[in-house]
A and B are shown apart, each in its own frame.
Chain A
């Protein structure tokens, strides 16, 4: 696994990006934007088809060549359907994997030449690296933990492009649970940790959370396991925190000023329901969050109704008292 980028590498990445941005063609490749030129699309499709011919489950079951190392191939499979929906859809395999994988057998040193994420995502990784360095993953796993430990570049899609909060939750929580709900994967990554840590039962350590399953289907692990950002435009922090620092205050989300607005729902626009007094109308389309998704008009009407009832009855009682007092005085 490649070491998580150092500042120098990141700066080099920014420099390379800046130089290449000078030509429009290079800019498109660097940013990973899907090409629009039909000839280029066809060229990429043909080039990728050569890789996909071997690196899929189907090819593993019916190998196209007799001289293939199937055990090795097992560790290098991808799903073309998922790739086509991912952030990197439309990119040529060679853009990241380099020329070393073009001939077969592949060049033994090809792995070393795979591009680091920072080569394209230089600016973003500047911010992310500082957050990551403070995370529990960096402290416990150090160099064993890379971007790809969580973000499979053949599958991953950023939240903004997914849009639907339920799908964002499903994708992002699967990244955490891949390790935190698998003894095998947890042990693989934690092998260098001293003392060795046994994987805690994910259900047991969250049993304080009411309706745990409903929470896991509706919000991401990172809503509680990353620090709150007060700014809606900032992406989620990569400072994943352990239980001692994780959010445990329910009202951070369960209130009118819910943090969900700057987290899971930051890409979802407020709906027209907001015009009718619904607070956090962006959230209510996909989740009911007690304390957060409510109607301010109904709340005000309820309080006025209670106030009027109490005032009316108090007035009634007071009048009864005064008139009873007058009657008593008259009769005496």
Chain B
């Protein structure tokens, strides 16, 4: 008989799927704007610009909600890498993804109510949510209100380095998203973790 524990409250699941939807919209429209070409149109420029602005502002608001809800619920603690063999736990987890998973081994650190994330998830999620996301959102806001950007930086228009940073951090988020979706298939069954993200219940 399978073992069930309730891990993910409703607010967290709603945030996760809204965040996912916005990131996908922003990726598609952002790529349409950056790679704009009269001969190859993904989303028409004007439409892409409008959608990107609205979705970007929505993401800022959603991130604000995420931070506040994490503080109030205490969920922020899940993201903090815990001392006492953290590097070892990362190594064990990496070995599992590169070797054990092919041999059908079980997850070395299955989630519990106290420790929802494994060590690799902790460090990667922490960087994505508390380092890369703020940079992405701040540079995006400067894009939206370019009068706040420096006039010149490194001998070029001040918006250019900001745009480069926005683009590179956006790329990191897109790479994370691709890997994140794939790792979602590494549960007991291919669909287990997706199901957990919908129902909130983890089953093993």
B146 lies within 8 A of A251 (CB): no
**Which candidate, B17-25, B125-133, B164-172, is the interface stretch facing chain A?**
B164-172
**Chain A, interface size: which category?**
35 or more
A310 within 8 A of B: yes
The CA-CA distance from A273 to B164 in the complex, in Å, is 14
Q: How far is the CB of B126 from chain A (nearest CB, A)?
A: 20
A255 lies within 8 A of B38 (CB): yes
Number of A-B contacts (CB under 8 A): 91
A1 within 8 A of B: no
A291 lies within 8 A of B178 (CB): no
A251 lies within 8 A of B37 (CB): yes
Q: Which of B144-193 touch A at CB < 8 Å?
A: 146-147, 155-160, 162-164, 167-168, 171, 174-175, 178-179, 182, 185
A317 lies within 8 A of B34 (CB): no
A64 within 8 A of B: no
B103 within 8 A of A: yes
The interface residues of chain B, by DSSP majority, are classed as: helix
**How many residues on chain B are close to A (CB under 8 Å)?**
36
Q: Which of A250, A285, A323 makes the CB contact (< 8 A) with B36? A: A250
A299 lies within 8 A of B160 (CB): no
Q: How far is the CB of B88 from chain A (nearest CB, A)?
A: 23
What residues of B have a CB within 8 angstroms of the CB of A110 in the complex?
Answer: none
B168 lies within 8 A of A251 (CB): no
A290 lies within 8 A of B34 (CB): yes
Q: Which of B37, B156, B162, B174 makes the CB contact (< 8 A) with A285? A: B156
What residues of A have a CB within 8 angstroms of the CB of B146 in the complex?
Answer: 211, 214
Q: Taking each of A213, A302, A310, which has the highest tally of chain B beta carbons within 10 Å of its own beta carbon?
A: A302
What residues of A have a CB within 8 angstroms of the CB of B182 in the complex?
Answer: 313, 316-317
A252 within 8 A of B: yes
Q: Which of B73-128 touch A at CB < 8 Å?
A: 101-104
A291 lies within 8 A of B159 (CB): no
A319 within 8 A of B: yes
A310 to chain B: closest residue by CB: B178
A252 to chain B: closest residue by CB: B38
A290 lies within 8 A of B171 (CB): no
What residues of B have a CB within 8 angstroms of the CB of A286 in the complex?
Answer: 157
B163 lies within 8 A of A251 (CB): no
B35 within 8 A of A: yes
The CA-CA distance from A302 to B171 in the complex, in Å, is 7
What residues of A have a CB within 8 angstroms of the CB of B46 in the complex?
Answer: 208, 250
A85 within 8 A of B: no
Q: Which of A25-68 touch B at CB < 8 Å?
A: none
Q: Which of B33, B35, B156 makes the CB contact (< 8 A) with A299? A: B35
B102 lies within 8 A of A323 (CB): yes
The CA-CA distance from A284 to B182 in the complex, in Å, is 38
A327 within 8 A of B: yes
Q: Which of A288, A319, A320 makes the CB contact (< 8 A) with B163? A: A288
A167 within 8 A of B: no
A290 lies within 8 A of B163 (CB): yes
B45 lies within 8 A of A254 (CB): yes
Beyond A295-B164, A316-B182: 9 further Cβ-contacts under 8 Å? A214-B146, A250-B36, A250-B49, A285-B155, A288-B158, A288-B163, A291-B45, A294-B34, A327-B104
25 interchain pairs, CB-CB under 8 A: A208-B46, A210-B49, A210-B50, A249-B38, A249-B45, A250-B36, A250-B46, A255-B37, A255-B38, A256-B37, A284-B160, A285-B156, A288-B156, A288-B162, A290-B34, A290-B163, A291-B37, A295-B164, A305-B171, A306-B178, A309-B178, A317-B182, A319-B102, A323-B103, A324-B104
Q: Which residues of B contact A (CB under 8 A)?
A: 33-38, 41, 45-46, 49-50, 53, 101-104, 146-147, 155-160, 162-164, 167-168, 171, 174-175, 178-179, 182, 185
Q: Which residues of A contact B (CB under 8 A)?
A: 208, 210-211, 213-214, 249-252, 254-257, 273, 284-288, 290-291, 293-295, 298-299, 302, 305-306, 309-310, 313, 316-317, 319-320, 323-324, 327
